Amino acid sequence: MILVVGATGSLGSAICRRLAAKGKPVGALVRSSSDPAKVDSLTKLGATIVRGDLTDRASLDAACRGVTTVISTASTSYSAKPDVLGVDHAGQISLVDAAAAAGVSHFIYISFSGSFTTDSPLINAKRAVEQRLKQSGMTYTIVRSSFFMEAMFSPTAGFDYPNAKATIFGAGANKISWISIPDVAQFAAEAVDNPAARNATLEIGGPEALSPLEVVTIFEAALGKPFEVQHVPEEVMQMQRQQATDPLQQGFAGMMLEYAKGNVVDMNGMLQTFPVKLTSVQEYARRAASAAS
């Protein structure tokens, strides 16, 4: 069985759908507090519901028994009750240890792009888990993704396209290889059987690199109206990161500093090994505009 951790999230549920479509036996790790509607949708996909919590090592030991592959997408960075240190760091390391102890043969971990180097709790947590996984003795796949379109083109990140407003972090001129969550899910699903994913770190991004200002122009064309744009200078974000006492606030400031410096991923070689049809920003903007109308 393939155990998906973070199965009720957008990425985890998308991975479950792709694995189920391939006829793979899927286990979905869910907490006792998980949304019943999301759990029900996983059940309808044919997934086996497995109860567990990244903060409860005994539950992870039980969840990993009989599992051949673990795919972990879990993160509290967008949750109502974020716990970067307890879940994204300690909890993920505990999951790696539990999987290794249970004899899991392959562990696929969704991480951040290798170019992300800002000192922040969330980025540091990702790198610590990567290192633990490499030392675990299991076959590993680390999927290092660029910025998710669904996360960054949303009001939460300051991109309020339904109201034609956008907050740009930094000058907005540096290019980013934005990637859609379903495409990340496809890479994770393909990594289960693709030999090129074994003991490998996969750097992935979208089909083209575009600056945040170019993204605004694309959304303006799709929505048929101009955007109100405001900028947050990098020095302000640096100050916010230094003054923040909460790990989530520190993490958000760190990620926006990464956004400001850009993140270009050359996908030519990767797509020859992993034939994933990538979603363009133009396609995403057209769908978003249609949904908003």
Q: Structural domain of residue 201, as residue ranges?
A: 2-146+179-205+265-278
Position 80 scores a pLDDT of 53
pLDDT, tens digit, 9 for 90 and up, residues 181-216: 999 999 999 999 999 999 999 999 999 999 999 999
> Across the beta sheet with 165-169, what order do the strands follow?
159-160, 165-169, 228-232
Position 129 scores a pLDDT of 97
Q: How far apart are CA 95 and CA 55, in angstroms?
A: 9
> Across the beta sheet with 69-72, what order do the strands follow?
48-51, 26-30, 2-5, 69-72, 106-112, 139-145, 200-204
Q: How many domains does the chain have?
A: 1
Q: Is residue 151 part of a domain?
A: no
pLDDT, tens digit, 9 for 90 and up, residues 62-94: 999 999 999 999 887 655 566 778 888 999 999
Q: Is residue 158 part of a domain?
A: no
Q: Is residue 55 part of a domain?
A: yes
Q: Is residue 288 part of a domain?
A: no
| Residues in the chain where the model's pLDDT stays below 70 | 77-82
Compute CA 268 distance to the chain's CA centroid, rounded to the nearest angstrom: 21
Residue from 15, 194, 192 nearest 106 by CA: 192
CATH number at residue 188: 3.40.50.720
State the pTM of this model.
Answer: 0.94
Q: Is residue 78 part of a domain?
A: yes
Q: How far apart are CA 128 and CA 272, in angstroms?
A: 30
Position 219 scores a pLDDT of 97
Contact 202, 187 (CB under 8 A): yes
Contact 285, 222 (CB under 8 A): yes
Q: Is residue 17 part of a domain?
A: yes
Position 52 scores a pLDDT of 96
- φ/ψ (deg, to 5) at 102: -85, -5
Q: Is residue 232 part of a domain?
A: no
Q: Is residue 95 part of a domain?
A: yes
248: amino acid identity, one letter: L
